[in-house]
Amino acid sequence: MQLRYGFRLYPSAGQRSALARAFGCARVVFNDALRAREAAREQGLAFPKSGDLSKALITEAKKTPERAWLGEVSAVILQQSLRDLDAAYRNFFDGLKGKRPRMGAPRFKSKRDNRQSIRFTANAAWRITPGKKLRLPKVGDVPVRWSRTLPSAPSTVTVIKDAAGRYFASFVIETSLEEILPTTTTEVGIDLGLGHFAVLSDGTKIDSPRFLRRAEKRLKRVQRELSRKQKGSNNRDKARVRVARAHARVADSRREFHHQLSTKLIRENQAVAVEDLAVKGLARTRLAKSVHDAGWSAFVSMLEYKAARYGRTFHRIGRFEPTSQVCSGCGVKDGPKPLHVREWTCGACGTVLDRDVNAAVNVAQAAGLVASACGAQVRRASVPAQRGEAGTHPKLPTQPVWEQAGIPGLWAREDVKASSAR
């Protein structure tokens, strides 16, 4: 498995200028190659090959006055731009053939995009210096904030600049099976929602932090300040950066929460099951802001790759599974229920079920896991055949979300290099 390890960079003023020049050159080569292929398509000709594009748009272009500045940056990042375009076309055509989810055709890049990036491979002769700095060709030794040690030698490094003006280095490393966790006997089903971010099949409820909702007051203020600035002015650029930083804080907090919770679930359970939600459809409803604030897709992706990394089992059941319509006790299906119905009584067995816990148990059962509602908000109704089973009712959780999730501190962040572009 290939993983990505990200670290913050702090380039100097001269290094920022060199990186901006590298971003621009890589973007120009990408756009020139895309323009050449689109022109060939409109004329009914075959797509130019990558070798021909490399010779015409890089090697020969450096000899012309209009593109002579391409020689001021490493040639490796220009070649990587052509490979990125090949990957974008390949993913686009694979989506049309049904080999992967559909995605749009490659588009032209802009210097105003929120994300600028360049990639250095081993051929670029980049390295980590004895002083723990990142030496990039034609850029220099860039200081790095190392939050941990890389487990192995990286193969490539991608330098990224986000909308908030922050720089990051993303290293790609190969991992082995040495990190497989000890086997456990617990298995869990997860029901994702908005009232509670996640409800587990054992009855645990994890509150939704609602990072975007909590930051709305500050976001409104900085966005209002941005709208009052004159277009094209330096003050508008400064206000734009403040807005981007405010949104970055929200995204970072949400990502950290996802990493902590997903790592905890993978460490404590041998198998994890979730439901495949129609996020795109839900994002077109009146709940769109809350759906995006929850970030279910990113959380499920983390569960999937961490399960593969640590030797756990991950299940994704179909979105049309009637998890909220079936009694987890007797299996009787009694039809759909409105969203305001949070607790219902099974007409067949008389069990009073919590809607979310019942759905989580059904998710686990649909995945073939041994689901247990021990400690869940499930109780038996007072029917004559079951009066002898009286007992105390479990109390509702009163702990904050971090204590409910059992998260003592911060785990190291980690990202997977996907086998195909998102």
Cα dihedral 358→361→367→369 (10° resolution): -160
Distance CA 20, CA 17 (A): 5
Q: Is 412 exposed, middle or buried (0-12, 13-18, 19+ CB in 10 A)?
A: exposed
The torsion region of residue 117 among left (phi > 0), alpha (psi -120 to 50) and beta comes to: beta
380 bridge partner residues? 351
Distance CA 83, CA 71 (A): 19
Catalytic residue numbers?
A: 191, 275, 356
Nearest CA to 119 among 72, 67, 76?
76
**Which helix (H) or strand (E) element contains residue 188?**
strand 187-192
Q: Is 359 exposed, middle or buried (0-12, 13-18, 19+ CB in 10 A)?
A: buried
| Spatial contact of 374 and 368, defined as CB atoms under 8 Å apart | no
145 bridge partner residues? 8
User: What would the two tokens of residue 173 be?
Assistant: 């490393």
Alpha helices (runs of H) in 269-354, residue ranges in sequence order: 279-282, 288-294, 296-309
Residue 134's SS3 state is: strand
Angle at 150 between CA 84 and CA 248, to 5 degrees: 60
Distance CA 385, CA 38 (A): 74
Residues with Cβ within 8 Å of residue 390, at least 6 apart in sequence:
none
Distance CA 285, CA 275 (A): 19
Residue by residue, DSSP assigns 245-257 as: HHHHHHHHHHHHH
User: What would the two tokens of residue 290 be?
Assistant: 């809350």
| Spatial contact of 115 and 160, defined as CB atoms under 8 Å apart | yes
